[in-house]
Chain A
Amino acid sequence: MSGPSTFVPKSAIGRWFESRLPIMGLVHSSFIAFPVPRNLNYMWTFGAILAFMLIAQIITGVVLAMHYVPSATTAFQSISHIMRDVNYGWLMRYMHTNGASLFFLACYIHIFRGLYYGSFKPPRELLWIIGVIIYFLMAATAFLGYVLPWGAMSFAGATVITNLVTAIPFVGTGIAHWLWGGFAVGGPTVNRFFSLHYLLPFIIAAFVGLHVWALHVTGQNNPDGVEVQNVDRDTVPFTPYATMKDIFAVSVWLILYAWLIFFIPNYLLDADNYNIANPLVTPAHVVPEWYLLPFYAILRAIPNKLMGVVALFASIAILAFVPWLDRNPVKSAKYRPAFRFFFWVFVVICVLLGWIGSQEPGDAMTLVARILTVGYFGFFLVIMPILSFAEKTRPIPASIADAVLAKKPVPAE
């Protein structure tokens, strides 16, 4: 699939350039000639959608940073200034805040797709782990960004999350003071969070580069989970096939994005964040943004603070071990009826954990949250290992071409 490019530029200047820096050959082999399994469904367009969202977030973020002033006394007013006085500032800000939500939505679809079709299995373990790192960096970036408007919920969120480190024995409080740049969340905190919020997206971009690189070495997985055997029969070239499909999918995604930006821009935002941060007034109900709610529910489900923090991080870290937890040689859930059932149970568990994360904690809620937390980890630590060996899988097609042909209706005589 990879190896030295066979690309030969048509022009003399192109050949001169290519023999010194083969960047056009890289583009050609990665985005034009790259063989794409011909049975990919629309779930495989989310890579392109995510790349688009990352670029959109960086561009809108760079523009917002030109007008944002990070300090405890100016941050909130500078957002108001962006919304009221900066030309199309409201558009940039609504694109950025709602863009974060759509970035996560696309990312979750992408991750669940990987789980469903076994995209983490050999030879794509590293590709998957790089993806988990990207997701973790995204969560960190989103958290840092959420603090910047310096609203009441920004302050509460920053306080809750940075206080997690105080659970570390002996050195926790010292680390918290070091993170805050003081004895509580305050002006120095918002300033350094801004610095890090600007830095991390570029680190994400670097990991995305590795992600794409690793993908282009192993090639894409596909809905049938059988590897490419014959490039001519099983694949189509990236351009125009995947390019056109990806561009179309991005345009549909843009409709959803535009709906959020222009018609319901405050639907996903917390109203409490339109009140300025006040250390003396904590919002009645502290909740993170929707995309972090399941993890918040897991954190609150554990009675011990340190163990809660451990569970919170374990719930993300466990994804990195999936290639070794699920060792069933059949990749796609299409041919794994039991795994498919438990996969959907897992999806429901994640959604319900998210709902519980948004609710006031109570005895009944905590009990349900604990059961669901056990279910969340049980999927990885119990179901996956057991189904690695105990599942009766359906026969997989001999090749991608066979799978495509099997689906094709026989033309009527």
Chain B
Amino acid sequence: MEYTSFNNQLSFIQKIRNFDYILMTCILLLGLISSLAMYSTDGGELLFHTKSHIVKFSIFFPMMIILSFFSIKFWHFFSYIFYAIILIFLIWAAMYGVKASGSQRWINLYFLNLQPSELMKIAIIGCLAKYYHRIQIDKVNSIQGIIIPCVVLILPVMIVASQPDLGTAILIALSGLVVVWLAGLNIKFFAYSFVTLLISLPFAVAFLKPYQKLRVLTFINPDRDPLGAGYQIIQSKIAVGSGGLTGKGFLKGTQSYLEFLPEKHTDFIFTLFAEEYGFVGALVLLLIYITIIYRVLHIGYISKSYFAKLFCYGYGSAIFFYVVVNMSMVLGLLPIVGSPLPIMSYGGSSMLATMIGFGIVMSAKIYHKQLIA
């Protein structure tokens, strides 16, 4: 019997039954596929990356299940606090963080080098979802309704961009913007800001780090310096292209195991996958992501509460951005910006953030009839 309520107490069995098993299967599949890919990047041996990846997945996947048992009301309540904590972490990282390869974006938590910017990708969605949940639709386009989300958005983006980590900053911005859009911000504001962006672009370019400028130039023409800046894009395209229809086979990706591929554990994991499993494999992987996105959006669609709906729509779109930005980048459609492929790429923070996101979505599924005041 259908009912909705503000105080929905579900039994454990009901919760289990309400689980989204399709989403869960897809995540598990990704976990499995990513472990195989990681094994391949290690040259067919059970080395550090593979082990670490499997360990992380086996910690974070159960964690997601546990998180999903928290009521959606809790997540609604927790959203601002979560955002605040992550923001503090970001500032902390900027001041006392661990430096690596020219950027300061990690906090040493002893068991894990946490990258708060990754968590911000989720936190920003939660924070904005809660904000829009709490205001009336006619307030969305008021001055206050514009300024507050702007501040919430710009603050972390600026910090992350200055780490410098352009890729993550862009992804945080995109995640936030899609929420703002979904909440109903007038399209003219997007148009205005887009025009402003275009105008300020030349000035922004002046502020880009030399290596970032190089990446943009290289993206425009990868052959201008095939052994230097263009190397990554060229090698990645060669790897993907040489995979052909069915790929070179498991552990047979010559581009990766002969080390022509850069960053094969992280940003270029899709390249390795496409090389070894070909067009068919790449399509299957893409299909899994599409299914995940579809399921997340579907959960949003069936959610009764505005917060849950907005969060799911926002998060579904965010995953879409992660996937599209990463794939476009390795396929030579976008300049190289650091952006991991969710679950597939090696990296604890990214996986942690993604799993927290899925946990909240799963919670929304379990409590999809729950209303929030």
Query: Do chains A and B stick together as partners?
Result: no
